[in-house]
Amino acid sequence: MHALWLGLGFGLVTASVLAISTVALSLQFSVTNFPNFAHGEMMTIGAYASYSTYQATHNVFFALGGAVLAGVITGFLINRLVISPFRRRNTAGLTLFVLTIGLALILQNGVLWIYSGNAQRLAIDPGQPHHVGGLLLTTQEMAIIVGAVLLLFGIHLLLRHTSFGRAQRAVAESPTLAEASGVNSGRIIDQTWLLTGGLTGLAGFVLALTTGSLTPGMGFSFLLVVFAAAILGGIGQPYGSMAGALVVGLAMEMGAVYIPSDYKLVVAFMILIVALLFRPQGLVPSKRLAAA
Amino acid sequence: MLQYLVSVCSLGAITAILVLGVNVRWGLAGELDLGFYLFPAVGAYIFGVVTLPKASTQVDVTYILGWHQSFFAGLLAAAVVGGLLSVVIGAVALRRLRANYFAIVTVACTIIGYTFISQYRPLFNGYNGIYGIAPPFGDSIKLGPEGYANFFLGICLFAMVAVFFVVELIRRSPFGRAAKAVREDEVAALAFGRNPYILRLKAYVIGGVVGAIGGALLVNYVLAFSPNAWSPLETFLLYGALLVGGTANNLGAIVGGWLVLIIFPQLSLLLPPIGGNPDALPAIQNMVIGLLIILTLYFRAAGLIPELQTMQGQFRTKGQWNWSRKGHGQVGVVDASASV
């Protein structure tokens, strides 16, 4: 029973990381309509940016800021330099998807070039463990969980109660209809890339915090878990993504109590495959179905 | 120097076979299979355990089978297992998924396979992998090391040409045309009484068999195979080669494989060393391949040698190569009259 409680604690932490990343992927998908295969690499870049900032300043908040800033810049550049030229030609979604594979190769190997393949350690002190109602969580883990909940609530407020949020949801629903109602959908897409870039960079930083070590492939191995959560929740649906992240995060970590933890990813991928085959519309139905 | 070239060319022929396998799936049938490398890997492992003798109890090695069979038996076993695995994965993943999601599921399957092969030691000896694979026909033919390298190059080139002819025949067959029709317009193909699911599954299986054969040859080249030797990421490099060479053109696949994955990396070795760490050169090579993918999609989506609009061969079109600049999925209706 004790092990299960530990698993629950880890699960909540993983779910927090996953939720931030998945919401970013889903928001980006909702306006661009293709899954970004370079999303994992954007997380890697955020993580390494936080590592470099922390090495230079030894301040956790600067490291966090560095990750967010790196994510925003990467998102901006990807959108401006790579996606936009293709979008202007009305390129098919599948081609854009293949395009992001090329991007993933470039970004991941760029990190490999600069930082080498050796694992780097993000030496931020996780703090003392505390008992929280049966769970055993370090200060850092509590900060991650609380931070993620606050952040997701902030995104909820942003989507529901600001003009940007209304316009963003309108573009996600139908770009042409939004245009007809006076929304500049191009600008909304650009802004969404900035927002999701920042969130993805942040998710990379939090991932590095929880795993402690950084490798150039860290984001890529996490990417499919993010896809699993996004698809389970209903891709393009920010609220469904939060639910999907919670389910996948808990299943991975609590599953690791019973099976060797090396198979953690396998649990997430099985959820992904089963979700795609049996509930392609996701927990929160999306109008874009994964299966015909 | 010559021996080095012979070795590089053997690898080139094997790589070209792998790109041809990708081309059957993505080029012919339009299946964005990002987990392709699972099939060469499984082919390599199966070839290994079929040709190796029983796992010795003296050293700490475990693997299944150990039948100590011949080169051809190993090749056949690799092809059969590659095909069966394709049937299993394809039957599930192709059933109802759309292209993006199919791609994600194939990557997931490959990472599951990678994890399982790495962790579960009784299968293929886990992380340490299998080694000590005997060079093919090493006992029966008496050649020096140089002569043997030439002989092996001959095997690889023969295999590459043979695979090329087989997949080219498949492309021109009624099945190949039907698969292309499904790729271009599934609803229209359905209206003409084709079953898109079965056609896609067939192409998926053929691709898997070609991949497994390529993997079996690869293990003969490196003589050992472990999770260090492959990763799910290699698939992207094969896609880079195919996109540059010419999607859906078998000759383009071979040209792309040689240009992007053999000639370009070899030439870049001649450059003065750059970067401060040992990972720099391979990293830069892969970055260039990623950049090539993006530039190809932007400037020449059909690749160097575009897909033929007719069902004729590359060299039988009376000297008129089809230099369509349109990319995959944008090619219009198959012009049947032009092939007469």
Q: Do A290 and B103 touch (CB under 8 A)?
A: no
Distance CA A285, CA A281 (A): 5
In a domain, A238, yes or no: no
pLDDT confidence of residue B119: 84
* Residue B145 clears pLDDT 50, i.e. is over it: yes
Best mutation target, B98, B109, B190, to test chain A (most A CBs within 10 A)? B98
In a domain, A208, yes or no: yes
* Residue B322 clears pLDDT 70, i.e. is over it: no
Neighboring chain A residues of B105 at a CB cutoff of 8 Å: 272-273, 276
Distance CA A206, CA A219 (A): 12
pLDDT confidence of residue B329: 46
Both tokens of A230, joined, read 């996004």
SS3 per-residue string spanning B104-122: HHHHHHHHHHHHHHHHCHH
Q: Nearest CB to B279: which of A97, A116, A266?
A: A116
Both tokens of B309, joined, read 């609009």
The Cα-based distances of B240 to A98, A145, B269, B296, B297 in angstroms read 10, 40, 19, 9, 10
Q: Do A102 and B291 touch (CB under 8 A)?
A: yes
The Cα-based distances of B221 to A32, B80, B131 in angstroms read 44, 21, 12
Lowest mean pLDDT among B200-204, B253-257, B274-278: B274-278
Distance CA B339, CA A145 (A): 64
Alpha helices in A58-184 (DSSP H): 60-77, 84-87, 93-115, 139-161, 163-173, 175-180
- Cα atoms found within 13 Å of the Cα of residue A261, Cβ hemisphere only: 7
In a domain, A156, yes or no: yes
* Residue B332 clears pLDDT 70, i.e. is over it: no
Query: In this predicted model, which residue has the larger pLDDT, B95 or A152?
Result: A152
pLDDT, tens digit, 9 for 90 and up, residues A54-74: 999 888 899 999 999 999 999
**CATH ID of B2-332, from 3.30.70, 2.60.40, 1.10.3470, 1.10.260:** 1.10.3470
**Under a CB-based contact definition with an 8 Å cutoff, are residues A231 and A276 in contact?**
yes
In a domain, A101, yes or no: yes
Q: Give how far B100 is from chain A: nearest CA, Å.
A: 7
Lowest mean pLDDT among A157-161, A209-213, B163-167, B336-340: B336-340
pLDDT confidence of residue A193: 93
* Residue B334 clears pLDDT 70, i.e. is over it: no
Q: Give how far B12 is from chain A: nearest CA, Å.
A: 21
Q: Give how far B106 is from chain A: nearest CA, Å.
A: 10
The chain B residue lying nearest A112, using CA atoms, is: B283
Neighboring chain A residues of B330 at a CB cutoff of 8 Å: 92
Over residues B141-152, the mean pLDDT reads 82
Label residue B317 by pLDDT band (50, 70, 90): very low
Label residue B137 by pLDDT band (50, 70, 90): confident
pLDDT, tens digit, 9 for 90 and up, residues B86-132: 999 998 888 877 777 888 889 889 988 998 888 887 788 878 778 87
**Under a CB-based contact definition with an 8 Å cutoff, are residues A203 and A42 in contact?**
no
Strand A120-121 and strand A213-214: the pairing is antiparallel
Q: Nearest CB to A292: which of B98, B108, B298?
A: B98
Neighboring chain A residues of B243 at a CB cutoff of 8 Å: 98
Query: In this predicted model, which residue has the larger pLDDT, B259 or B54?
Result: B259
Label residue A179 by pLDDT band (50, 70, 90): confident
* Residue A286 clears pLDDT 90, i.e. is over it: no
Distance CA A88, CA A76 (A): 16
Tell me how far apart the terminal alpha carbons of chain A are, to the nearest angstrom. 42
pLDDT confidence of residue B336: 39
Neighboring chain A residues of B107 at a CB cutoff of 8 Å: 224
Query: In this predicted model, which residue has the larger pLDDT, A30 or B214?
Result: B214
How many domains does chain A divide into? 1
Residue B56 CB neighbours (<10 A): 12
Tell me how far apart the terminal alpha carbons of chain B are, to the nearest angstrom. 48
| Portion of chain B with pLDDT greater than 70, in percent | 89
- Cα atoms found within 13 Å of the Cα of residue B91, Cβ hemisphere only: 6
Label residue B337 by pLDDT band (50, 70, 90): very low
* Residue B302 clears pLDDT 90, i.e. is over it: no
In a domain, A139, yes or no: yes
In a domain, A17, yes or no: yes
In a domain, A243, yes or no: no
Domain boundaries, given as residue ranges, for chain B: 2-332
Over residues B38-64, the mean pLDDT reads 83
**Under a CB-based contact definition with an 8 Å cutoff, are residues A93 and A33 in contact?**
yes
Label residue A284 by pLDDT band (50, 70, 90): low
In a domain, A88, yes or no: yes
Cα-flanking dihedrals φ and ψ of residue A70, to 5°?
-60, -40
Find the domain containing A161 and state its range: 2-114+133-223
The chain A residue lying nearest B116, using CA atoms, is: A263
Q: Do A269 and B111 touch (CB under 8 A)?
A: yes
Query: In this predicted model, which residue has the larger pLDDT, A43 or B193?
Result: A43
Strand A120-121 and strand A129-132: the pairing is unpaired
Tell the burial category of A280 from Cβ atoms under 10 Å away from its Cβ (0-12, 13-18, 19+): buried
* Secondary structure letter of residue A119 according to DSSP: P
* Residue B252 clears pLDDT 70, i.e. is over it: yes
Best mutation target, B293, B299, B300, to test chain A (most A CBs within 10 A)? B293
DSSP structure string for B114-170: HHHHHH-HHHH-GGG-EE-PPPTTTTTS---HHHHHHHHHHHHHHHHHHHHHHHHHH
Tell the burial category of B1 from Cβ atoms under 10 Å away from its Cβ (0-12, 13-18, 19+): exposed
The Cα-based distances of B77 to A122, B21, B258, B301 in angstroms read 47, 17, 27, 37
Q: Give how far B108 is from chain A: nearest CA, Å.
A: 6
Q: Give how far B288 is from chain A: nearest CA, Å.
A: 7
Label residue B323 by pLDDT band (50, 70, 90): very low
Best mutation target, A36, A45, A48, A106, to test chain B (most B CBs within 10 A)? A106
Lowest mean pLDDT among B76-90, B149-163, B174-188: B174-188
Q: Give how far A102 is from chain B: nearest CA, Å.
A: 4
Neighboring chain A residues of B289 at a CB cutoff of 8 Å: 102, 105
- The residue assigned the tokens 């760490």 is B277
Residue A196 CB neighbours (<10 A): 29
Both tokens of A59, joined, read 């301040």
Query: In this predicted model, which residue has the larger pLDDT, B17 or A33?
Result: B17
pLDDT confidence of residue A283: 64
The Cα-based distances of B172 to A58, A171, B178, B315 in angstroms read 64, 44, 10, 14
The interface residues of chain B toward chain A in range 281-300, judged by CB-CB distance below 8 A, are: 282-284, 286-287, 289-294, 297-298
Q: Do B298 and A273 touch (CB under 8 A)?
A: no
pLDDT confidence of residue B86: 95
Best mutation target, A36, A78, A269, A288, to test chain B (most B CBs within 10 A)? A269
pLDDT confidence of residue B316: 52
The torsion defined by the Cα of B191, B196, B197 and B198, in degrees rounded to 10, comes to 100
Label residue A125 by pLDDT band (50, 70, 90): confident
Q: Do A101 and B293 touch (CB under 8 A)?
A: yes
pLDDT, tens digit, 9 for 90 and up, residues A10-57: 889 999 999 999 999 999 988 888 889 999 999 999 999 999 999 998
pLDDT, tens digit, 9 for 90 and up, residues A80-101: 999 988 888 888 878 888 899 9
Over residues A179-183, the mean pLDDT reads 85
